[in-house]
Amino acid sequence: MGVFKDKESAFGAYDVRGIYPTQVNEWLVQQIANAFPSIVKTKKVLVGYDARNSSKDLVNATIEGLRLTGVDVYDIGLCTSPKFYFASAFYNFKGGIMITASHNPKDQNGMKFVTSKAFPLSFKQLKKLESKVREKLRITKKKGQHIKLNSDEEYETFLNSNCKIKRKLKIVIDASNGLGGKEIEKALSKQDLIKLNFKPDGNFPAHTPNPIKKATLKELIKTVKSRKADLGLAFDGDADRVVFIDETGTPIKGDYIMALFIDELAEKKDRIVVDLRLSKILEELAKTKKAKIVRSRVGHTFLSRIMRKKKALLGGELSGHYYFRENYYADSALLTTLKVLNILSKNKKPLSLLVKKFQKTFLSDEINFEVEDKEKVLKKFKQFEGKKNYLDGVSVVCEDYRFNVRKSNTQNLIRFRGEAESMAELKETINKVKKTVGVSYKKISYHF
């Protein structure tokens, strides 16, 4: 069957994603769900789904695939990924499947997988799952049950317990037509909340649900300025990532949000895990707190795994994912929002000034080069001047600048992120990188 032969195109490094229905469809997700219990070794699996137009049909196929194996399925219905992670850990499920394509365009959908305590499926486990997907379904004599699970009260209690806002704030939230706005608004009921795109809509009529793309922030920035808000923030489609806008309408880089957390929350001997692209200022700041920064490869699975191993206080990625120990080491735009609001409310300074003290270097956006041969281009950087690290792609450190280049797992892209002591040095570094990539690159795209 053609769809079965094409299943590899939907399996990524961390999850399953693809265009619906050509790459991801009811048939394929049923086959994957049918194989899933053999990986996690459990008779109870949690499922949830986002607001995409195809998600309801896909979750029904997922439930059927699981039940055919004799597994009991606990269905929490429409939810964000953070709520799904919370329920998975809170109720001690050893396996869970979330139907979502996160921040991807509306024509896509996918599956996220967790094991015990909301721990993401490893790359090795995902590959094993892929190998176990087959055309013939596993069918037991006794079909598993389909049980509705309402976790609203428990999740609201969790969010409310983390809401410690000390003064009334004017907050603009762009929910990107996902479910994040609906899930957080009760916790913010005492705030002056200005709601943008709160109605769940799988067509994402306002914009693509990806806040690290600058174009998606236009309405939010305009509203923050016109309404004289204390800050603005935007969730992605499943609310596992968030981008913050200060009171002047300026987007705040993830480096500075992490710096804010370290400055306010870190204590002696704490471990903080960050992806290798984030600013060197984090090490300097952690040192003042007698805490330690641990660098990770880019990606949810890698960062979450290191956090658990190190029992880290918190973690963060350039892409707007933030992780907390009290949240079972999972990422959550909702909890991150509450943490930032807590910090802002207890300070008299505006958000722009709170992060200004961390802006000691010059940071680039992430720049994507479309290339013909990723491996060939990446090898060129091994000859680059400076100290090198190969944890994820090639990281180069020189006296006045540092950068990382790495390949995309799913596209013909080389991704660059740089930092320098001056803007002139940063521009020169970017030009050096462009020359090293060479004439082979087709186009460049920038992401906040």
Q: What angle do CA 72, 78, 81 make, to 5 degrees?
A: 90
Q: In whole angstroms, give the CA distance from residue 172 to residue 197.
A: 11
Q: Which of 55, 102, 304, 319 is catalytic?
A: 102
Q: In whole angstroms, give the CA distance from residue 298 to residue 254.
A: 14
Q: In whole angstroms, give the CA distance from residue 377 to residue 96.
A: 38
Q: In whole angstroms, give the CA distance from residue 41 to residue 182.
A: 34
Q: In whole angstroms, give the CA distance from residue 225 to residue 249.
A: 6
Distant-in-sequence, close-in-space partners of 345: CB < 8 Å, separation ≥ 6: 164, 165, 166, 167, 169
Q: In whole angstroms, give the CA distance from residue 196 to residue 57.
A: 27
**Burial of 347 from C-beta contacts in 10 A (0-12 / 13-18 / 19+):** middle
Is 54 a residue of the active site? no
Size of the chain in residues: 448
| Residues facing residue 35 across a β-bridge | none
Q: Which residues are the active-site residues?
A: 102
